[in-house]
Every structure is written in structure tokens, then in C-alpha cells.
Amino acid sequence: MVLKTVEVGTAFRNHLGKDRAALVVTLKEFREETTRESFLTACHDFVEKTCGYPVEPANDRSWRDCYDFLKTYLPADTGLDPFSMVFEYVMPDSRKQADVLLLTQHKVIILEFKQKAVILKEDAAQAAGYRKSLSHYHYETEKKAMTVEAYLVYTQGDPAGNHHLVDVLTPENFTAALRNALKDQLPLSEKECCTWIASPFYPLKNIAEATLQLFKSGDLPNIKTIREGDIKAILEAIDGVIADRSTQKSILFVSGVPGSGKTLVGLKTVYDHAHDQETLPPIYLSGNDPLVNILQNTLSTHGIAQEGKSYIQAMKNFKTLAHGTSVPLHNIIVFDEAQRAWDTDYREPGETEATLLLRLGDRIAAKYGKVTILCLIGEGQSLYFHEETGMPLWAKALTGRKDWNVYIPVSYQKVFGESPHIHASPHLTLNTSIRHDFIDVSPWVEAILDLDLEKARKCYCEMVAQGFVCWRFRDASKLPQAVSYVKQHAPGAHTGIIVSFHLRAKPGMFGPQYRGCYVKAEEAYHWYTEESYQLTRGASEFLIQGIELEYPIVSFVGDYFIQDGKWKVDPHASNPGFKDLEKVIQNVYRVLLTRSRKGMFLYFPKDPKLDETYGWFASMMTVEND
């Protein structure tokens, strides 16, 4: 039997897309050749047999409704006939499939169908999430610079409720909206359509997964393929200093907004020079012991123990070498969160972690001829005793040290002053947050800490439009529901309570299972991988500072609260030994509010002291999401 050309094309497309989509047809093929029975069979079998998910009667009803709607309202313009339609396209890192995609040379149009009378935030968030994933992590979409549009299609008529994430289509406006979306567009060729469907995703990994991939393959996907501008420029600047044989001692400071990839820059630098014949083995140092525990255990659990122990160490252990005459066998030193360097040393009064590290650098340069220290800086994140000095500590330690070439971001010129050995560069700052799918939450967080309601509301609305998802609640019984939501909608994602260490939670504040927020550094990996979702213990700012959770439960417990329009610190919140307790507590909440990767739960226990705080957030979050 001789098949018609169109049938050959359809069969070819569906063969190549068999693991990625249930059905791939042109508009004309759908309108003229796709029967309801064949459509339902294709969707049903794909989800059940290929994806391995159970199919409920409700799924079949939804597919039937989608088919009937499209048969009625899909534009019949012959000029639109060649455009490709993709059904049940599998999204990355999810148990979800996008209902319908329309592909053009320059656009991906997402259509999510709903048989509901009310707009639900979770439905809008789902469509916005698809838009975000395809925009940032789908190789062909980014390569071709395709615009991604997302729509919710309510087949039963105009739904009730407000929405801020995506546009809503109904029987009244669907046909016109689709015509407008396809206006002046060109269809993909057969080959281009197949290439797009088969395209790989490069989803952004969390710090543990990214570190594991780095030490396994030498590659970080978010550096290689996603928005590599800032990160690439900084890596090139660092490599240039390391390769410069005319300088014996160099120290670089790299700053960045929360979630911009500073730790990944440090780890990439360590890995890239680990097998360099021109340098000694590099070392990554952190004052965050829980982070060190998580990274070392991640590597050792997957059979890379030597690299983990050799290249990742706690700062407190490494700096003890300065007290003797030892010379470390490293001439590239990466110090993460260097703004938290201690301003004192118990064994040597008058010394600081900055002066001790420079002393070790002097010894390395004297013995091996060259040393490079890379300091990674996160502003507003000093949390503990002796950490409050910040960058002036380094400026003081380097005063008069003209034997050191100092490379700083332009923003630190006033701190370090002017000197021939001080070099300011615009390429030492990471301005783009990659942690939250390229949604920079920092301006929103700063507006919250400044209690600038208008700015916070504006930032929130802008973030929501980009796909930011945030829920607020006051009932402790909803905590397990939050965990269940994450397990159902994002299997493998991390969630858990994150909470300030400075005030003990009252009994019942997190439920009867809760045992506090004290997690030892050596328990961090276990908490992160297994315990967090059980809600038995929360992660304090000390544990969570160096890592992220996909959906953290950010908790306001009363040490920092709004009263009479101002932030207040509970006088019983912490040891009064801090130089500026209010600044430290503010830093705590800056850290807690910037740890999310995919979404965030905000929890305000039912304490009258928190009523005004909850009310402020409720007013700021204009999208109803209780």
C-alpha cells in the first residue's frame, strides 16, 4: 500500500517524538485526518505505556474535551495549515506533560486546557512553569531565541477569579487570539520540528547535583548553556590572573547577588585547575561546615571520595596551618563566603582569618613561586560572632601589602581605596540570579527588609509574571500538605522548614513531631537528603546558607516581626554579644528568603505578635494564595 505524503510525514514525526509526545501533527492534519478515537488512543497509550503513569477516567474526559474544543475553535485558515501541533509533550524533572504546543520558527505557544469554572493559582503556576522551563532549559528554544507564550484555555466559558501569571482563553476569544499569535509567523520544516521535539533539556541543578556533575564530567550545564555571560567573563578573568606569570601573589574578590552562582564559579575554578600541570592541586574552603559536609558526602556517596576530601575543606581546619611553619600544597585557594571571615583568632590575638590566609599565601609564593586566592563575596550575609566586619576586614589586612596584586569589583573601590596594586574590574560581579530559574528575588527581599510596601508589591507582581510561585499560611496543619504538594508535583525536589536559630519555637508551632532546628554539621547531608521532608527538624540559617531547597518553608517565628510599621527584634532572640544584633537578624532573614529554587512557602504561626507581619505580607502579595 502506498501512503500519502502527509501520512508518511506524520508517521515520521511521531516515530522521532514517541518518547517525548503523544502526537505530532500539523493543524491541517489535526483538522482533516485526526479522529477522536485515534487522538484519545494516542494520548491514553502514551501516558500509560510510555510515561508509565496511571490513566484515570478524568484524563480521558479531559482529552476528549480538548479534542472537541480544538475541532470547534481551531482557526481554519489555510495559511495556518503547515504549523505543527504537539500533544502531551513531556516536561523535564516533572510528572507533567504540556497539553498542547504550537510551534513556529520564532515561537512556542503553550495551551493548557481546563474544564473549570474558577481560575486556580496552581493551574496558572503550572502553565507559567512550563513557559519558564522551555525558555531557559530547552536547548533548541534557546538556540533559536524562540519566544515562549503560555495560555490557560477554559473550555466551559469565562472563569471566575483573578490571575497574574498567564493569559486566559475561552470559547469567545480563542480563535482570534490564536490567529493573532500566529500572525506573521512561519512554520517549522519537517526536520526542524523533529529536531525541536527531540531537543535535550539542560535543567539547572542544585549545588549538590551541580558539584557531582562537575567532578564526574568537568561540566556545569548552567555555565555551559544557560546565560553564560557573567559567569564566563568571570572565569576568564580568574584564569587570566592564574596564568599571569608576571605576578607572584594575587587575590581576587568576586561578588554577586544571592543565587548568582558564586559557589559554582569557585568549584569550577578548582576543578579546571585540578589536573593542570602548571599548578599545584587547588583547594576550596568554606566557613560553612554544613555545606562542606553536604558537598563532601555528595561526592563520596557517588564514588568520588578522594576528590571531595582533597579539594573541599572547612576553613577552620585549613587556617590552623598558619599557626606553624607548614606550607600548604596548594597555590590556588578558593574561599567561599569570604565576607564572613572572622575578625579574631583565639590562638593569635590581633590576627584575623584574612591575615592568616595572606600569611599562608606568602609562604606558598615563597616556596612555589606563585599563589592565587579567590574570595567569593555575598553581601548582607554575616550571621555569627566575629563575622560582622565584612569587607573592611580584607581592606585592612591588605593595607600596605603592595606585594599582593588585588582585583576587586568596581563597587568596592571606596572600601579598598586607590593604589597601583588595587585593580577594579567590572567583570568580577555576578548580576544575574540563576538559583530561582533566573528570577532575581533579591530586589523583592530587600524591599521586604526595608518595609517598602509599594516596591515589594511591584517586585512581587513582576516575579509572579515570570512564574514565581509563593504561598502563605498560618496553620501548622498545612505544613504536611505543603510537603505532599511538593512530592506530588515535583518528585525528587527538596523541601523542609527553614527557620531562624535565634528564637526557640514554641511547642506546637511546627506540629508535635518538631524537635528544633539544631542540626550538627556532620548531620547536614542526612538532613538535606532524607530528614527535611519529615519536618522533625528545621534548618537554621547556618545550615541553609550555602545550599538551596526547591520549595523551602520559610518561617517567621517572632524574633523579627513588624510592629507599628517597623521591623522589631525580640530582645530575647539571641545572645547580646553581637555588635549589631538587628543587622544580624536582618541578615538571617535575607538568607532564609533567598534559598528557594522553584517556589516558596511562607509560614507565620498563629502568634498575635505576628499578626501585623502576616498582614503586611498579605497586603503585599496581591495574588490570592492562601
Q: Which three cell numbers stand for residue 425?
A: 574590574
616 and 580 belong to one structural domain:
yes
Amino acid identity of residue 476, one-letter, is A
For 77-137, give the DSSP string: -GGGTT-EEEEEEEPTTSS-EEEEEEE-SSEEEEEEEE--SB--HHHHHHHHHHHHHHHHH
608 and 582 belong to one structural domain:
yes
- pLDDT attached to residue 580: 78
423 and 460 belong to one structural domain:
no
What end-to-end distance do the CA atoms of the chain give, in Å?
60
The confidence band for 384, taking pLDDT boundaries of 50, 70 and 90, is very low
Instruction: Give me the chain's average pLDDT, please.
Output: 84
Give the count of beta carbons closer than 10 Å to the beta carbon of residue 516. Answer: 14
Domain presence at residue 344: yes
Nearest Cα to Cα of residue 251 among 243, 259, 241: 241
pLDDT tens-place string over residues 420-431: 889 999 889 887
Domain presence at residue 625: no
**Close Cβ partners of 99 (under 8 Å, ≥ 6 residues apart):** 66, 87, 88, 111, 112, 113
Number of Cα atoms under 13 Å in the Cβ half of residue 228: 13
Question: What would the mean pLDDT of 122-140 be, rounded to a whole number?
Answer: 84
Residue 67 — φ and ψ, nearest 5°? -60, -50
The confidence band for 332, taking pLDDT boundaries of 50, 70 and 90, is very high
The confidence band for 385, taking pLDDT boundaries of 50, 70 and 90, is very low
The confidence band for 325, taking pLDDT boundaries of 50, 70 and 90, is confident
- pLDDT attached to residue 220: 64
Question: What would the mean pLDDT of 497-522 be, rounded to a whole number?
Answer: 86
pLDDT tens-place string over residues 528-550: 888 999 999 999 888 887 778 88
Q: What is the distance between the alpha carbons of residues 447 and 459, in angstroms, rounded to a whole number? A: 8
The confidence band for 584, taking pLDDT boundaries of 50, 70 and 90, is confident
Nearest Cα to Cα of residue 128 among 433, 437, 486: 437
End residue of a domain, out of 198, 229, 248? 198
Kindly state the DSSP code that residue 528 receives in the 8-state scheme: I
The confidence band for 442, taking pLDDT boundaries of 50, 70 and 90, is confident
Q: Which three cell numbers stand for residue 40?
A: 484519545
Q: What is the distance between the alpha carbons of residues 356 and 16, in angstroms, rounded to a whole number? A: 60
Question: What would the mean pLDDT of 100-126 be, rounded to a whole number?
Answer: 91
Domain presence at residue 436: no
Q: What is the distance between the alpha carbons of residues 51 and 22, in angstroms, rounded to a whole number? A: 10
Domain residues for 463? 442-620
**Spatial strand order in the sheet of 600-603:** 470-473, 600-603, 551-555, 495-499
End residue of a domain, out of 155, 174, 198? 198
- pLDDT attached to residue 258: 76
Q: Which residue has the higher pLDDT, 579 or 264?
A: 264
Q: What size, in residues, is the chain?
A: 626
Q: What is the distance between the alpha carbons of residues 573 and 501, in angstroms, rounded to a whole number? A: 9
- pLDDT attached to residue 447: 96
Amino acid identity of residue 67, one-letter, is Y
Buried/exposed 405-429: b ≥16 CB within 10 Å, e otherwise: bbbbbeebeeebeeeebbeebebbb
300 and 412 belong to one structural domain:
yes
261 and 160 belong to one structural domain:
no
pLDDT surpassing 60 at residue 224: no
Lowest mean pLDDT among 89-103, 268-282, 572-586: 572-586
Domain presence at residue 543: yes
Residue 312 — φ and ψ, nearest 5°? -125, 120
181 and 321 belong to one structural domain:
no
pLDDT surpassing 70 at residue 8: no
421 and 463 belong to one structural domain:
no
pLDDT surpassing 70 at residue 223: no
Lowest mean pLDDT among 87-96, 242-251, 562-571: 87-96
Q: How many structural domains compose the chain? A: 3
183 and 223 belong to one structural domain:
no
Residue found by looking up cell 533566573 in the block: 438
Residue 334 near residue 310 (C-beta atoms within 8 A): no
End residue of a domain, out of 132, 164, 198? 198
297 and 352 belong to one structural domain:
yes
- pLDDT attached to residue 351: 83
pLDDT tens-place string over residues 395-441: 999 998 999 999 999 988 888 888 888 999 988 988 777 776 677 88
pLDDT surpassing 60 at residue 343: yes
- pLDDT attached to residue 10: 53
Domain presence at residue 560: yes
Amino acid identity of residue 503, one-letter, is L
- pLDDT attached to residue 624: 44
Nearest Cα to Cα of residue 142 among 219, 201, 93, 84: 201
Domain presence at residue 467: yes
pLDDT tens-place string over residues 141-191: 988 889 999 999 999 988 887 777 789 999 999 999 999 999 999 999 989
Share of the chain above pLDDT 90, in %: 44
598 and 495 belong to one structural domain:
yes
Residue found by looking up cell 500566529 in the block: 182
- pLDDT attached to residue 563: 95
The confidence band for 18, taking pLDDT boundaries of 50, 70 and 90, is low
Domain harbouring 588, CATH code? 3.40.50
Cα distances (angstroms) measured from residue 287 to each of 93, 171, 313, 545, 567 = 32, 58, 9, 11, 29
551 and 472 belong to one structural domain:
yes
pLDDT tens-place string over residues 302-313: 655 455 567 788
Q: What is the distance between the alpha carbons of residues 91 and 129, in angstroms, rounded to a whole number? A: 10
Domain presence at residue 63: yes
Domain presence at residue 290: yes
- pLDDT attached to residue 386: 45
Domain harbouring 319, CATH code? 3.40.50.300
- pLDDT attached to residue 575: 64
604 and 547 belong to one structural domain:
yes
Residue 504 near residue 516 (C-beta atoms within 8 A): yes
Nearest Cα to Cα of residue 26 among 76, 81, 87, 106: 81
Residue 404 — φ and ψ, nearest 5°? -105, 130
